[in-house]
Structures are given as structure tokens and as C-alpha cells.
């Protein structure tokens, strides 16, 4: 892992913001002991990300933001307000046609999407009676409240935070990069079938036999500091157990030794939403694949990744709480569980196609033209170039345009959705038959 991606990697003291990491590690080890010495990975991931006051999202509210700052990753709303402006076209159109007065956002991050979306909805001539944010992290909620406080009163007064879902509500629900951050189970294929991977505390391990996580560590000195920054007396390690983890049909395409993710938390989340939703539209934007692509033999290592300081690495057991942990979304599984819960699949396409269908290029053209009509000068030109570069990142197949997908689910809706006018890929979410034999 690159030196810049680790607190204290310059040889100096660890930043005060990371002083909680030993406490989080102790909390995880206690959970392992209470579980009998073996902790399922989804529970480990939950603690590493969301343990109150200690987890990655609970203790580090500045983890997302612009490239080059102290953040670890950047999301589409942070790149340009045109992302929210484009999404607003779909939200406003659906809400007005279907008579939906509430917008609900899950995992609002820095609050940037909420602020930009409300401003864009106002420009579209429609505002929700209520904009509700559901956020599990108290630290992130505080950051969102600071962002919302900068809005004009007519927008600010519409924002509320829900601690729990109402028994029944009608709304347009949005979630940008929410599903990928939900804990996943890990499954390993063996001669005897699929077994579950978990986390244990091991006996002391010789330093020479330990390796730094892959991800471009700079040199042997960086690797050595990796070893020094971890608990060498009782390190965390992988261990497998036969727990009866249920494989999906497409997993039969994966070879022996393959590791992949089971998305029980994300699927349970969709089921819970369906239980509480009366009428409404659910829009989720995230990176992922249909099942037949997710479980392609060439993806036999799974999709689990960690992020720190805009760099990726592959060891989620390295300093729990210091890195984000994510897994790509199995959109076939989301669609299947939604159907079982009584929701209709209304659309599925790439982020690029969704944004183009909703008029992103028109909005970009208007923004650039407005800048050119304003005061002349280099700053205006640089702003236009920055907007164009951000839009290119949103649309490019080599960046976010193809890897990120948009899925629309709903209940009781009648009008088609503009975001899926062209390039709708719903058929790709059907569970494809793989080779004969047990999963």
C-alpha cells in the first residue's frame, strides 16, 4: 500500500484522528472472542466501518471529498453539481407525475448531493414538502447538517433526518454509492462446496513471513512500516468454516479456490424498504454487474476492495478503521429480492446512459454558455474546463460511465422514466444458466 495512504507512514506520529484505531481493534478482537474465536466477515466489516464512534464512517467524517485533500475517495456529486442537476430532472418528473411529495436520501455522505439536488429541484420548478436523510453515522450526520445550514431558508427548512423509517411512506428514494458499503459475506469454493470466510486472532507470526497489502507499496521501507503498524503479537487472519452459506446459481461458473461476496445485507435492506414503501420510486446508483458478469471465471478473486487516500488496496484486515471497505453490487440479486418483495423493476442501465437520457450534455452546454456570457477572464475559462472534465469522468467508459449502473425499482407507478428511454438493460439482470452441476 502506498506510503501516502497510511497514517504515520512518514515516520512521524499517527494523526490524532486515528488514535481510536487501537480501541477499534480491541473491540473487534472482543467480538471474535465472544463469537467463539471466529467472526463472519460481514460482522467484521460492519464493525470496521460502522462501530459507534470507532468505525471508518463513524469516526472519520472527512473521508470523501475532492482529489488531493485529506479525503480517501470522491463520489459523483463531489465532482460537479451537474450530476445533481441531471438527477433532479428525473426526480422532479417522477414526483410531479406520480404525486410524490417526499424525497428520501440514504447515506448522504458530505451532504453535497442533498444541497445540490434541492437547488436543482428548485430550478426545475418543483420542491419536495420534505427531504429526508437516513444516515447511520452520527459524524456524517453532523457534516451533513453543516452543509444544509448553508442553504437558503426555503430549502433548508425542508430537510429532516429520519432515525427510523415510517411504517408506510410514499416517496422518491435515492442512494448514491450506498449498496457497495453494506457488509458482505465472503465465500470460498472448495472440493467439498462453498464455505464461509471469516476472521480470527492468530498466534504470533514471524515478521519475515508477513506481507504488506497489494496496492503499490512504495519500497521495502514502506512494507516494513506496514508490519510495524499492525499487531504482530496477535494479528488478525483469515479462516474458513462450513456454515451452510447459500451460493447463488451463477456462482457455479467460478473455479475451485474462487472467493466471492454474498450480499445479504444489501438484499435485506431492499426487502425492508419494500415493507415500508407505499407508493414510490427507488433509484440506486452504484458500481457493479449483473450476476453472470459478477461471477465470471475471470473474476475469481471477488470484488472486495479497500480505499485510503484515493488509492486502492486488497487487505481489509490491515488496520481496521483506517480504510474504506467496499464490494461491487450484484444487481441481479437486488432485482430478484425486489421482485420477491413486491417491487417492480422499472429500469437498469449504465450511469452514462442514464445521465445522457436525462440531459446532462444540455445542462453542461448551458453552464458553459452562462460562464462565457459572464465576466470575461481566465477563472471563467478554467471553471468551464473543470466542468467539462468532470462530466467526461461521469460519462467515460474508462472512468465511471460504464462501471457505475443505475437501477430503478418502484411500486404503484405508471409513467415511464426518462433515464431509461434508451439503453435499458433490464434483460441483462435475468439469472443466466451456468454450466451444469451444483453451485
Domains and CATH numbers, the chain: 76-179+267-289+332-429 (3.40.50.12710)
| Over residues 175-183, mean pLDDT | 97
pLDDT in tens, 86-126: 999 999 999 999 999 999 999 999 999 999 999 999 999 99
Inform me whether the pLDDT recorded for 225 exceeds 90: no
Distance between CA atoms of residues 369 and 275, nearest Å? 46
pLDDT at 254: 97
- What does the pLDDT average to over 76-87? 97
**pLDDT at 218 exceeding the cut of 50:** no
The pairs formed by 433-437 with CB atoms below 8 angstroms and a separation of 24 or more are 433/249, 434/249, 434/250, 434/252, 434/253, 434/292, 434/295, 435/252, 435/253, 437/252
Question: Are the C-beta atoms of residues 250 and 332 closer than 8 Å to each other?
Answer: yes
Residue 283 near residue 406 (C-beta atoms within 8 A): yes
Average pLDDT over residues 324-335: 98
Q: What angle do CA 431, 433, 434 make, to 5 degrees?
A: 120
Q: What is the pLDDT of residue 71?
A: 53
Instruction: Tell me the sheet residues that pair with 333.
Output: none
Question: Considering Cα of 278, then 280, then 286, then 287, what sign does the dihedral take?
Answer: positive
Are the C-beta atoms of residues 131 and 105 closer than 8 Å to each other? yes
pLDDT (0 to 100) of residue 11: 40
Q: What is residue 379's predicted lDDT score, i.e. its pLDDT?
A: 53
Would you say residue 311 has pLDDT above 90? Answer: no
Confidence of residue 437 (pLDDT cuts 50, 70, 90): very low
pLDDT greater than 70 at residue 353: yes
> How far is Cα 125 from Cα 161, in angstroms, rounded to an integer?
24
* Mean pLDDT, rounded, of the chain: 87
**Grid cell for residue 104:** 428520501
Determine the pLDDT at residue 8. Answer: 39
Residue 16 pLDDT > 80: no
Rounded Cα gap, residues 131 and 107, in angstroms: 13
The model's confidence at residue 19, banded by pLDDT at 50, 70 and 90, is confident
**Confidence at residue 14, expressed as pLDDT on a 0 to 100 scale:** 38
Q: pTM score, two decimals?
A: 0.88
Pull the grid cell for residue 82: 451537474
Q: What pLDDT score was predicted for residue 114? A: 99
- Per-residue confidence (pLDDT) for residue 309, from 0 to 100: 77
Residue 373: pLDDT band by 50, 70, 90 thresholds? Answer: low
Higher pLDDT, 210 or 401: 401
Q: On the CB side of 77, how many CA atoms lie within 13 Å of its CA?
A: 24
**CA dihedral of residues 429, 432, 438, 439 (deg, nearest 10):** -30
Amino acid at each position: 500500500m502506498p506510503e501516502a495512504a497510511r497514517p504515520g507512514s512518514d515516520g512521524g506520529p499517527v494523526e490524532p484522528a486515528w488514535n481510536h484505531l487501537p480501541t477499534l481493534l480491541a473491540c473487534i478482537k472482543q467480538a471474535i472472542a465472544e463469537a467463539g474465536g471466529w467472526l463472519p466477515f460481514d460482522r467484521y466489516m460492519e464493525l470496521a466501518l460502522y462501530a459507534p464512534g470507532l468505525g471508518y464512517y463513524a469516526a472519520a467524517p472527512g473521508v470523501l471529498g475532492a482529489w488531493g485533500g485529506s479525503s480517501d475517495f470522491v463520489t459523483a456529486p463531489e465532482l460537479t453539481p451537474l450530476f445533481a442537476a441531471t438527477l433532479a430532472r428525473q426526480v422532479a418528473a417522477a414526483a410531479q407525475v406520480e404525486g410524490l411529495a417526499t424525497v428520501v436520501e440514504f447515506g448522504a455522505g458530505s451532504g453535497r448531493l442533498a444541497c445540490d439536488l434541492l437547488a436543482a429541484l428548485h430550478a426545475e420548478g418543483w420542491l419536495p414538502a420534505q427531504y429526508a436523510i437516513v444516515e447511520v453515522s452520527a459524524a456524517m450526520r453532523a457534516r451533513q447538517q453543516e452543509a444544509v445550514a448553508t442553504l437558503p431558508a426555503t430549502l433548508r427548512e425542508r430537510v429532516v433526518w429520519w432515525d427510523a423509517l415510517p411504517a408506510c411512506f410514499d416517496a422518491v428514494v435515492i442512494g448514491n454509492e450506498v449498496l457497495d458499503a453494506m457488509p458482505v459475506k465472503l465465500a470460498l469454493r472448495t472440493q467439498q462446496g462453498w464455505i464461509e470466510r471469516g476472521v480470527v486472532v492468530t498466534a504470533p507470526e514471524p515478521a519475515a513471513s508477513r506481507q504488506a497489502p497489494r496496492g503499490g507499496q512504495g519500497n521495502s521501507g514502506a512494507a516494513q512500516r506496514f508490519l510495524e503498524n499492525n499487531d504482530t503479537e496477535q494479528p488478525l487472519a483469515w479462516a474458513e468454516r462450513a456454515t451452510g452459506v447459500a451460493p447463488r446459481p451463477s456462482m457455479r461458473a467460478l473455479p475451485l479456490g474462487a472467493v466471492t461476496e454474498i450480499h445479504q445485507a444489501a438484499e435485506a435492506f431492499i426487502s425492508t424498504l419494500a415493507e415500508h414503501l407505499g407508493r414510490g420510486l427507488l433509484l440506486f446508483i452504484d458500481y457493479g454487474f449483473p450476476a453472470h458478469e459478477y461471477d465470471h471465471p475471470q473474476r475469481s478473486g471477488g470484488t472486495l476492495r479497500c480505499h485510503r487516500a484515493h488509492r486502492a488496496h486488497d487487505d481489509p484486515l490491515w488496520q481496521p478503521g483506517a480504510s474504506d471497505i467496499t464490494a461491487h453490487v450484484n444487481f441481479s440479486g437486488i432485482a430478484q429480492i425486489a421482485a420477491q418483495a413486491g417491487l417492480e423493476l422499472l429500469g437498469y442501465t449504465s450511469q452514462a446512459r442514464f445521465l445522457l437520457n436525462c440531459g446532462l450534455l444540455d445542462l453542461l452546454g448551458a453552464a458553459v454558455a452562462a460562464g462565457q456570457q459572464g465576466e470575461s477572464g481566465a477563472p471563467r475559462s478554467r471553471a468551464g474546463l473543470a466542468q467539462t472534465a468532470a462530466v467526461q469522468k461521469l460519462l467515460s467508459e474508462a472512468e465511471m460511465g460504464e462501471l457505475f449502473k443505475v437501477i430503478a425499482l418502484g411500486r404503484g407507478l405508471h409513467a415511464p422514466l426518462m433515464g431509461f428511454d434508451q439503453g435499458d438493460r433490464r434483460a441483462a439482470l435475468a439469472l443466466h444458466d451456468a454450466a451444469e452441476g451444483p453451485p
